[in-house]
Structure 1
Amino acid sequence: MDGTRTRAFVGSFTSAGGRGVMTAELDPASGALTVTGSSDAVADPSFLALGGHGGGAVLYAVSETEQGAVAAFDVTGPAPRPLGPPVALDAAGPTHLAVVAGHVLTANYTSGSVTAVSLTADGGPGAVSGRVRHEGSGPVADRQSAPHAHQVLPDPSGRWVLAVDLGTDSVTVTALDPATGALSPHATTALRPGTGPRHLAFHPAGTHAYVLNELEPTLTVCRWDAAGGVLTPLGETPVVPDGATGPQYPSEIVADPGGRFLWAAVRGGDTLAVLALDASGATARLTASVPCGGHWPRDLALGPTGRHLYAANERSGDVTWFSLDPATGLPERVGAIPAPAASCVVFG
C-alpha cells in the first residue's frame, strides 16, 4: 500500500462474534499473517474492497444488515479508522462491493439490486447515485423466490459492470456513467435454472469468465466479449469429486494470473477445488479437492505474490493459508490466524 509493505484485511460478522475489520501484516515470503488491529465500528462488514485515494488507500466495507450500508476506513495505521459514519443504501443485505470509476458499487442480496454510491473528497461514501433492481425468480423455492444480487465487479476492460444474481440464475451487464454515477442495464445472460450463481472471476486475458454456482456445485465457463458487453455460457464442470456426499455450497472462485488454474471454495464439504484450464481458457477440469483447513470457507483470495491462497473460514473462525505448487496448482496448508466469523480477506 505504501510501497514498503503489503497487508491483509479480514471482514467478519460482528453479530456472530467477529471483530469487524481486522488488519494483518503479510510476510510475502512465507505468506504468514500477523494481526495488528481491528475495528468493530461497522456492523457485519462481510465484504471489503480497497480503492486508491490521493497517495494512500481507503478500505470500503458493506454492512450486511437489513438496513444496508456502505462504510470507508483509513487504513494507513495499524488498525482501521472509520472515515465518518456508514451511508445508508436504501437496500437490504449488501453482500459484495467494488470500487469503480470514483464510485462504490454494492450487490444487495435481500433487495435484489445493485447500488452506486459516489465518493467524497476524502474518499468516504457520499450519496447514492444509481440503482438497478433485478427482476425474476428461479425454481428453488426456498432460495430463488426473488432476485438476490450476490456480487458486482468491473470487467477487465473497465467498460462494464457485471452483477451475479443467485435468485434469478443470471448475470446482468451494466454500464456505469463515471460523471453521474448512473447505472444503465445493457444485457442479461440466463444460466441454467436452479444453479444459483454466486460469484464469478475473469480469465487474465479478459476473454472468459467463470461463474461459480452455489445451489449446484458446478462452474459455468463463459465467453466474454468486452467490445459488445456480451457473456455467453459455454459449458459446466463440477467443483466437487464424483461421490461427494452431503450438501455442497460453493462460495468463491479465484483465477490464476498465469491463466492455468482456478481455485474454488466449497462449504459443507469444506474443500478447496483445483481446476486446470486449457490454453485458451475455454474449458476447465477438476483435478483435485483438498481440505480448506477449517469449517465453512466463505471466501478465498490469492496473495499478492501468487504463491499463497487464503481461505476465510466463517464457522471455525480462522483464516488459513496455503502454499501453491506452481506445476499443479495444488494447495498445501501452511498456517492460520484466529478470525472469529471470518467472511472475506483482501490484500493491498
Structure 2
Amino acid sequence: MNNASIGRPASFLVHVSSSESREIHAFWLDSQTGGLEPVEVVAVPGSGAPTRGNIPLAWSRDGKVLYAQVRTDPFPLSAFAVEPASGRLRLLESCAMPAPMAYLSVTRDGRYLLGASYDNALLAVNRIQADGRLSMPCLQILPTPPKAHCVIEAPFGGFVYATSVDGEAILVYRLDAASGRLQAVAATAVRPESGPRHLVFHPTLDTLYCVNESAGSLAAYRVDRACGALTELQYESLMPAGFSGRAMGADIHLAPGGAFIYACVRKTDTITAFRIDPATGMMSSAGAFEAEDYPRGFAIDPAGRFLLCAGQNSNRLAVFVIDPGTGALTLVQRHAVGRRPSWIEIVPAPGQLAR
C-alpha cells in the first residue's frame, strides 16, 4: 500500500533543505505520533560547489509550488511542483537571480515572491505566474543596510517588514498590491549590538517578534496599523549569565494560535520557549530546551503538536512533542538528513490541501 497518497489521514509533508549536499529531504510526519516516513531526496539545481549559508524555502499560497534558492553563482532559484498523489516534487523551472537570497517568502495574495539577500544587502520582488513559475527579470530590487536577513508581509495593512543584521534595524515598506512594488516608509532602530534576524507576527494581536542574531535575544514590538511603525514592548535575553561574544540567534516561530513562541540560538544549541499573554502579547519564560547541534532552523506543524529542528552540525532532523499546557519540548526521535541542514517547511498533505 502506498501511504503517500491523496487521502492519507492525519499527516503533514515536511521538507528539509541541506546546503552542503544541495538537496531537499522530504518526509511524511504523522500528526499523532510524530513519526517520520521518508518520501524522497531531491537535488536542488545549482553549481557543483556547496552553497554557502542555507537553501531558503518558501511555499506558494495554494501549497502547489515550493521555491528554493542555491546561494552560489549564478544563484538559481528553483520552482518545484508538488504531485498531489505522492507528495513528490517535480522541477518546473530554475532561473538565475541577481543575488543570493537568505530568505524567501510569498505575499499574502500569492502574487509575488519576496527575497532578502544577506550577502548583497538588498530585497528582491518577483511576480509569480499562474502556474507558479516566476516572471523574470526581478520586478524590483531595493538596497538595504548591511546583511538583510528576512522579509515578510504583515497580516494587515499591506506592509512588508525586513531585517538588517548589521544595520541594526527593522525596515518597513508599503506594498502596492497592483504593481508588486515596495515603497520604504519607516525604519526602526533596534538596541545596539542586537542584530535583528528573523521576524514573526502574532496571529491576532498587532505584535511583531524578532530574534536577534548577535545578542541572542528576543524582542516584541507593538505595530501601528496606520503607518506600520514599531514600538518596543519587551526585550528578553536567550543567553546564560556570563556569555560573551556573538550568540548566533537563528530562527523564531509561533505555535498556531499564538499561545507560545520559540527561538533558537546556535552557540548554546538551545530552543527557548515563552508563553504569550493573549491580551497584551507580552512574553513570560516557559523554559530552555536542548536542541540539535547548531540549530539553525526549525518549524512547528500546522496543528501545533510537534516542533522539528535541523542541526546544522549534526546533520539530523529532531522531532519534539510540544506540551500544550506548558510549551515544554520532549524529544520523540531523530532522523538523518543531508549535510548542513538549515531550513524546514511543514504543510498539510497534498490531498488535504486539495480538499
Q: TM-score, normalised by structure 1?
A: 0.88
SS in structure 1 at match of 2:93: coil
Q: Deviations over 1:153-183 (max 9, x none)?
A: 1111261111111120111111222332222
Counterpart in the other structure of 1:143: none
Report the Cα offset of residue 78 of structure 1. Answer: 4.5
Cα deviation for residue 318 of structure 1 reads 1.1
Question: Who is 2:324 aligned against?
Answer: 326
- Structure 1 residues 110 and 247 mapped into 2: Cα distance closer, same or farther (>3 Å)? closer
Q: Which residue does 1:228 correspond to in 2? A: 227
Residues 246 and 268 in structure 1, CA contact (< 8 A), matched pair in contact too? no
Segment of structure 1 superposing worse, 254-263 or 98-107: 254-263
Match for residue 24 of structure 2 among 16, 21, 25: 21
**In structure 2, what is the Cα distance between the partners aligned to 1:165 and 1:223?**
19
Instruction: Note the C-alpha offset of 1:245.
Output: 7.3
The answer for the alignment partner of 2:310 in structure 1 is 312
Q: 2:118 matched to 1:109?
A: yes
Counterpart residue number, 1:34: 37
Q: Kindly state the Cα deviation for residue 6 of structure 1 after the two structures are TM-superposed.
A: 2.5
Q: 1:68 aligns with which of 70, 75, 98?
A: 75
Check 1:89–1:289 CA distance in 2 against 1; reply closer, same or farther (3 A cut): same
8 Å CA contact 1:8–1:26 kept in 2: the answer is yes
Looking at structure 1, the residues matched to 304 and 43 of structure 2 have their Cα atoms a distance apart, in angstroms, of 30
- Structure 1 pair 27/155, CA: closer, same or farther in 2 (3 Å)? same
Return the offset for 1:22: 2.0
Q: Which has the higher contact order (CA 8 A, sep 6+)?
A: 2
Does structure 1 residue 95 correspond to structure 2 residue 102?
yes
Q: How far off its partner does 1:66 sit?
A: 4.6
CA shift, 1:190, in A, is 0.9
Match status 1:132 vs 2:136 = no
For residues 103-182 of structure 1, what are the structure 2 equivalents within 5 Å? 103-127=112-136, 128-135=138-145, 147-157=146-156, 159-182=158-181
Q: Please, which runs of 5 or more residues in structure 1 have no aligned partner? A: 136-146
SS of residue paired to 1:248? coil
Residue 285 of structure 1 deviates from its aligned partner by 2.9
Q: Which whole-Å deviations, capped at 9, do the CAs of 1:69-113 have from their partners, x for residues lacking one?
A: 42210121443221112x22212x311101113111101111111
Paired residue type of 1:73: F
Partner SS, residue 83 of structure 1: strand
CA distance in 1 between counterparts of 2:217 and 2:27 reads: 33
* Structure 2: runs of 5 or more not aligned: 348-355
Alpha-carbon displacement from aligned partner over 1:308-347 (angstroms, at most 9, x marks no partner):
1111111110110101111110000001211122111111
> Which of 82, 96, 101 in structure 1 is aligned with 2:91?
82
Measure how far apart 1:306 and its partner are: 0.3
In structure 2, how many angstroms separate the alpha carbons of the residues matched to 1:286 and 1:198? Answer: 21
CA distance, structure 2, for counterparts of residue 303 and residue 195 of structure 1: 29
**Secondary structure of the corresponding residue to residue 46 of structure 1:** coil
Is 2:59 the counterpart of 1:59? no
Q: For the residues of structure 2 that align with 1:3 and 1:182, how far apart are their CA atoms? A: 39
For residues 203-224 of structure 1, what are the alpha-carbon distances to aligned partners after superposition, in whole Å with 9 as ceiling and x for unaligned?
Answer: 1213111110010011111101
Note the alpha carbon deviations across 1:201-259, whole angstroms, 9 max, x for none: 11121311111001001111110123321222223111134355776321011112233
Equivalent residues of 1:237, 1:285 under 8 A apart: no
TM-score (norm 2): 0.87
CA RMSD in angstroms, aligned pairs only: 2.1
Match of 1:6 in 2: 12
Give the deviation of 1:63 after TM superposition. Answer: 2.0
Give the paired residue count: 329
Alpha-carbon distance between aligned partners in 1 of 2:17 and 2:141, rounded to the nearest angstrom: 25
Partners of 1:106 and 1:224 in 2: how far apart? 22
Question: Relative to structure 1, is the Cα distance of residues 312 and 105 closer, same or farther in structure 2, using a 3 angstrom cutoff?
Answer: same
| 1:297 counterpart residue number | 295
In structure 2, the CA distance between the partners of 1:41 and 1:300, relative to structure 1 (3 Å rule), is: closer
Distance 1:3 1:178 in 2: 35
**Cα deviation code 1:18-53 (max 9, x no counterpart):** 5x1222112111122222112213244611111145
SS of residue paired to 1:164: strand
Q: Answer with 274-283 or 31-40: which moved more.
A: 274-283
* Residue type at the aligned position of 1:103: Y
CA distance in 1, matches of 2:157, 2:77: 22
Distance 1:172 1:250 in 2: 19
In structure 2, how many angstroms separate the alpha carbons of the residues matched to 1:32 and 1:243? 38
The equivalent of 2:352 in structure 1 is none
Matches of 2:280 and 2:76, distance apart in 1: 37
Which stretch of the first structure deviates more once superposed, 331-340 or 244-253? Answer: 244-253
